[in-house]
Amino acid sequence: MATFSGLNLLFFSFLIASGAISVVSGTVFTIENRCPFTVWPGILTGNNGAPLNDGGFILNSGAKVDVNPPAGWSGRIWGRTDCNFDGSGAGTCVTGDCGNKLKCAGAGGVPPVTLAEFTISPSGGNDNYDVSLVDGYNIQMGITTRDGSGDCRNAKCASDLNGSCPNELRVVAGSNVVACKSACAQFGKPEYCCTGAFSTRETCPPSDYSKMFKAACPEAYSYAYDDPSSLLTCTNANYSIIFCP
Protein backbone atom coordinates (compact mmCIF):
# COMPACT_ATOMS: atom_id res chain seq x y z
CA MET A 1 0.00 0.00 0.00
CA ALA A 2 1.42 3.40 -0.96
CA THR A 3 2.10 5.93 1.79
CA PHE A 4 2.70 9.69 1.74
CA SER A 5 6.10 10.92 2.82
CA GLY A 6 6.44 14.17 4.74
CA LEU A 7 7.50 15.84 1.49
CA ASN A 8 4.37 14.54 -0.28
CA LEU A 9 2.14 15.93 2.44
CA LEU A 10 3.94 19.27 2.43
CA PHE A 11 3.50 19.55 -1.35
CA PHE A 12 -0.19 18.60 -1.10
CA SER A 13 -0.71 21.27 1.58
CA PHE A 14 1.00 23.83 -0.66
CA LEU A 15 -1.31 22.96 -3.57
CA ILE A 16 -4.40 23.52 -1.43
CA ALA A 17 -3.08 26.78 0.05
CA SER A 18 -2.09 28.13 -3.34
CA GLY A 19 -5.41 27.26 -4.94
CA ALA A 20 -3.90 24.74 -7.37
CA ILE A 21 -6.41 22.22 -6.00
CA SER A 22 -10.02 23.32 -5.62
CA VAL A 23 -11.58 22.06 -2.38
CA VAL A 24 -15.06 20.73 -3.14
CA SER A 25 -17.66 21.89 -0.65
CA GLY A 26 -19.99 18.89 -0.97
CA THR A 27 -22.75 21.36 -1.88
CA VAL A 28 -24.76 20.55 -5.00
CA PHE A 29 -26.70 23.14 -7.01
CA THR A 30 -29.45 21.47 -9.04
CA ILE A 31 -30.51 23.95 -11.72
CA GLU A 32 -33.95 23.02 -13.03
CA ASN A 33 -36.14 24.44 -15.78
CA ARG A 34 -39.87 24.06 -15.12
CA CYS A 35 -40.79 26.73 -17.67
CA PRO A 36 -42.63 25.70 -20.85
CA PHE A 37 -39.74 27.20 -22.83
CA THR A 38 -35.95 26.89 -23.00
CA VAL A 39 -33.80 28.85 -20.55
CA TRP A 40 -30.06 29.48 -20.85
CA PRO A 41 -28.67 29.71 -17.27
CA GLY A 42 -25.74 32.04 -16.61
CA ILE A 43 -23.39 31.65 -13.63
CA LEU A 44 -21.02 34.34 -12.38
CA THR A 45 -18.40 33.51 -9.73
CA GLY A 46 -17.45 36.38 -7.43
CA ASN A 47 -13.93 37.77 -6.98
CA ASN A 48 -12.89 36.66 -10.47
CA GLY A 49 -13.02 33.00 -9.43
CA ALA A 50 -13.17 30.10 -11.86
CA PRO A 51 -16.53 29.82 -13.68
CA LEU A 52 -18.82 26.90 -12.86
CA ASN A 53 -19.86 24.87 -15.94
CA ASP A 54 -18.13 27.43 -18.19
CA GLY A 55 -20.49 30.08 -16.87
CA GLY A 56 -23.46 29.19 -19.07
CA PHE A 57 -25.34 26.47 -20.93
CA ILE A 58 -28.67 25.53 -22.46
CA LEU A 59 -31.45 24.04 -20.30
CA ASN A 60 -34.46 22.70 -22.15
CA SER A 61 -37.94 22.69 -20.62
CA GLY A 62 -38.16 19.94 -17.99
CA ALA A 63 -34.38 19.44 -17.79
CA LYS A 64 -32.09 19.79 -14.78
CA VAL A 65 -28.30 19.95 -14.32
CA ASP A 66 -26.20 19.41 -11.19
CA VAL A 67 -23.39 21.89 -10.55
CA ASN A 68 -20.75 21.46 -7.82
CA PRO A 69 -19.40 24.72 -6.34
CA PRO A 70 -16.14 24.64 -4.37
CA ALA A 71 -16.04 25.42 -0.65
CA GLY A 72 -16.40 29.16 -0.05
CA TRP A 73 -17.98 29.77 -3.46
CA SER A 74 -19.81 33.06 -3.88
CA GLY A 75 -21.72 34.20 -6.93
CA ARG A 76 -24.99 34.51 -8.79
CA ILE A 77 -27.12 32.45 -11.15
CA TRP A 78 -29.66 33.88 -13.58
CA GLY A 79 -31.75 32.84 -16.56
CA ARG A 80 -31.31 34.10 -20.11
CA THR A 81 -34.34 34.03 -22.39
CA ASP A 82 -35.03 34.00 -26.13
CA CYS A 83 -31.45 33.15 -27.07
CA ASN A 84 -30.09 32.15 -30.45
CA PHE A 85 -26.58 30.65 -30.64
CA ASP A 86 -24.73 29.12 -33.56
CA GLY A 87 -22.58 26.00 -33.48
CA SER A 88 -19.59 27.91 -32.14
CA GLY A 89 -21.58 29.31 -29.18
CA ALA A 90 -21.84 32.83 -30.57
CA GLY A 91 -25.19 34.56 -30.44
CA THR A 92 -27.46 36.77 -28.39
CA CYS A 93 -30.23 36.63 -25.81
CA VAL A 94 -33.15 39.04 -25.52
CA THR A 95 -32.75 39.13 -21.71
CA GLY A 96 -29.80 38.36 -19.46
CA ASP A 97 -27.22 38.38 -22.26
CA CYS A 98 -23.60 38.01 -21.08
CA GLY A 99 -21.67 39.26 -24.09
CA ASN A 100 -23.03 37.45 -27.15
CA LYS A 101 -21.85 34.00 -26.09
CA LEU A 102 -23.32 30.76 -24.76
CA LYS A 103 -20.59 30.24 -22.13
CA CYS A 104 -20.50 33.41 -20.05
CA ALA A 105 -17.05 32.47 -18.66
CA GLY A 106 -16.74 35.30 -16.14
CA ALA A 107 -19.21 37.78 -17.64
CA GLY A 108 -22.39 38.85 -15.84
CA GLY A 109 -25.87 39.14 -17.24
CA VAL A 110 -27.12 42.48 -18.52
CA PRO A 111 -29.95 43.74 -16.25
CA PRO A 112 -32.79 43.46 -15.78
CA VAL A 113 -32.41 39.88 -14.53
CA THR A 114 -33.83 37.89 -11.64
CA LEU A 115 -30.92 36.55 -9.56
CA ALA A 116 -30.22 33.62 -7.24
CA GLU A 117 -27.29 34.70 -5.05
CA PHE A 118 -25.14 32.44 -2.85
CA THR A 119 -22.21 32.52 -0.48
CA ILE A 120 -21.30 28.96 0.49
CA SER A 121 -19.48 28.59 3.81
CA PRO A 122 -15.81 27.63 3.47
CA SER A 123 -15.92 25.57 6.66
CA GLY A 124 -19.34 23.95 7.08
CA GLY A 125 -21.00 26.95 8.69
CA ASN A 126 -23.98 28.94 7.50
CA ASP A 127 -24.48 29.46 3.78
CA ASN A 128 -26.16 32.72 2.75
CA TYR A 129 -28.58 32.83 -0.19
CA ASP A 130 -31.42 34.86 -1.65
CA VAL A 131 -33.55 35.54 -4.72
CA SER A 132 -32.97 39.14 -5.74
CA LEU A 133 -34.89 41.69 -7.80
CA VAL A 134 -32.36 44.45 -7.06
CA ASP A 135 -31.18 44.19 -10.70
CA GLY A 136 -34.76 43.96 -11.97
CA TYR A 137 -36.78 40.97 -13.15
CA ASN A 138 -36.93 38.84 -16.27
CA ILE A 139 -38.11 35.35 -15.23
CA GLN A 140 -39.76 33.56 -12.32
CA MET A 141 -37.17 31.94 -10.07
CA GLY A 142 -36.91 30.04 -6.79
CA ILE A 143 -34.43 28.41 -4.41
CA THR A 144 -35.32 25.32 -2.36
CA THR A 145 -33.06 23.66 0.20
CA ARG A 146 -32.37 19.94 0.70
CA ASP A 147 -30.67 18.04 3.54
CA GLY A 148 -29.56 21.13 5.46
CA SER A 149 -29.97 22.21 9.08
CA GLY A 150 -30.98 25.53 10.61
CA ASP A 151 -33.53 28.00 9.30
CA CYS A 152 -33.27 26.78 5.68
CA ARG A 153 -36.31 28.60 4.32
CA ASN A 154 -37.05 28.55 0.62
CA ALA A 155 -37.03 31.72 -1.46
CA LYS A 156 -38.81 32.56 -4.69
CA CYS A 157 -40.31 35.09 -7.00
CA ALA A 158 -43.11 33.12 -8.61
CA SER A 159 -45.19 36.09 -9.78
CA ASP A 160 -45.15 37.29 -13.39
CA LEU A 161 -43.75 40.77 -12.82
CA ASN A 162 -43.51 41.37 -16.55
CA GLY A 163 -47.29 41.37 -16.71
CA SER A 164 -47.65 43.87 -13.87
CA CYS A 165 -44.58 46.01 -14.60
CA PRO A 166 -45.23 49.77 -14.71
CA ASN A 167 -44.97 51.25 -18.20
CA GLU A 168 -41.89 53.30 -17.33
CA LEU A 169 -39.94 50.19 -16.24
CA ARG A 170 -40.91 47.85 -19.06
CA VAL A 171 -38.45 46.26 -21.48
CA VAL A 172 -40.32 45.40 -24.68
CA ALA A 173 -39.28 43.12 -27.54
CA GLY A 174 -41.71 43.23 -30.41
CA SER A 175 -45.10 43.45 -28.75
CA ASN A 176 -44.09 41.54 -25.61
CA VAL A 177 -42.92 42.78 -22.21
CA VAL A 178 -39.83 40.62 -21.63
CA ALA A 179 -38.37 42.18 -18.47
CA CYS A 180 -38.98 44.80 -15.79
CA LYS A 181 -36.21 47.24 -14.85
CA SER A 182 -35.35 48.34 -11.34
CA ALA A 183 -36.07 51.98 -10.53
CA CYS A 184 -32.34 52.48 -9.96
CA ALA A 185 -31.48 51.25 -13.45
CA GLN A 186 -34.24 53.24 -15.10
CA PHE A 187 -33.87 56.58 -13.33
CA GLY A 188 -30.35 56.45 -11.81
CA LYS A 189 -31.41 58.56 -8.84
CA PRO A 190 -29.57 58.14 -5.49
CA GLU A 191 -32.85 57.64 -3.62
CA TYR A 192 -33.59 54.58 -5.78
CA CYS A 193 -29.98 53.29 -5.89
CA CYS A 194 -29.25 53.90 -2.17
CA THR A 195 -26.12 55.89 -2.98
CA GLY A 196 -24.69 59.25 -1.93
CA ALA A 197 -26.81 60.88 0.75
CA PHE A 198 -29.11 57.82 0.60
CA SER A 199 -26.42 55.20 1.28
CA THR A 200 -27.69 53.90 4.65
CA ARG A 201 -30.74 51.90 5.70
CA GLU A 202 -32.05 54.92 7.58
CA THR A 203 -31.81 57.28 4.60
CA CYS A 204 -32.93 54.81 1.90
CA PRO A 205 -36.37 53.42 2.72
CA PRO A 206 -38.33 51.32 0.21
CA SER A 207 -39.64 53.23 -2.80
CA ASP A 208 -43.07 52.79 -4.35
CA TYR A 209 -41.38 50.66 -7.03
CA SER A 210 -39.57 48.36 -4.60
CA LYS A 211 -42.78 48.07 -2.56
CA MET A 212 -44.52 46.85 -5.72
CA PHE A 213 -41.79 44.20 -6.22
CA LYS A 214 -42.05 43.20 -2.56
CA ALA A 215 -45.83 42.87 -2.65
CA ALA A 216 -45.60 40.59 -5.70
CA CYS A 217 -42.63 38.56 -4.40
CA PRO A 218 -42.41 38.87 -0.58
CA GLU A 219 -39.65 36.23 -0.34
CA ALA A 220 -37.28 38.09 -2.68
CA TYR A 221 -34.93 41.04 -2.24
CA SER A 222 -36.75 44.11 -3.53
CA TYR A 223 -34.02 46.75 -3.02
CA ALA A 224 -30.57 47.18 -1.44
CA TYR A 225 -31.64 47.24 2.24
CA ASP A 226 -34.17 44.42 2.19
CA ASP A 227 -31.92 42.08 4.23
CA PRO A 228 -34.11 41.22 7.24
CA SER A 229 -36.83 39.44 5.26
CA SER A 230 -34.84 38.21 2.30
CA LEU A 231 -31.28 37.10 3.22
CA LEU A 232 -31.56 33.44 4.26
CA THR A 233 -29.19 30.96 5.91
CA CYS A 234 -28.76 27.18 5.98
CA THR A 235 -25.96 24.80 6.99
CA ASN A 236 -24.62 21.85 4.96
CA ALA A 237 -27.45 22.00 2.44
CA ASN A 238 -27.90 21.25 -1.21
CA TYR A 239 -29.94 23.71 -3.27
CA SER A 240 -32.34 23.58 -6.18
CA ILE A 241 -32.41 26.71 -8.33
CA ILE A 242 -35.70 26.52 -10.23
CA PHE A 243 -36.87 28.57 -13.19
CA CYS A 244 -40.69 28.95 -13.11
CA PRO A 245 -41.16 27.35 -9.67
pLDDT digits (tens, 9 = 90+) for 129-184: 999 999 999 999 999 999 999 999 999 999 999 999 999 999 999 999 999 999 99
- pLDDT of residue 232 exceeding 60, the answer is yes
Residue-level pLDDT at 171: 98
- pLDDT of residue 122 exceeding 80, the answer is yes
Strands 29-33 and 238-243: parallel
Please give the Cα distance from 236 to 243 (Å, whole number). 23
Q: How large a percentage of the chain has pLDDT more than 70?
A: 90
- Going by the DSSP 8-state scheme, the letter that residue 196 receives in this structure is G
The closest alpha carbon to 209, from 228, 236, 230, 182, belongs to: 182
Residue-level pLDDT at 157: 98
Tally of domains within the chain = 1
The closest alpha carbon to 243, from 111, 82, 61, belongs to: 61
Give the residue numbers spanning the domain of 123. Answer: 23-243
Q: Is residue 185 part of a domain?
A: yes
Q: Is residue 10 part of a domain?
A: no
Q: Is residue 7 part of a domain?
A: no
Write the CATH number for 60: 2.60.110.10
DSSP letters for 104-166: -TTPPPPSS--EEEEE--SSSSEEEEEEE-TT-BSS-EEEEEES-BSS---EEE-S-HHHH--
The answer to whether residues 109 and 56 touch, using CB atoms and an 8 Å cutoff, is: no
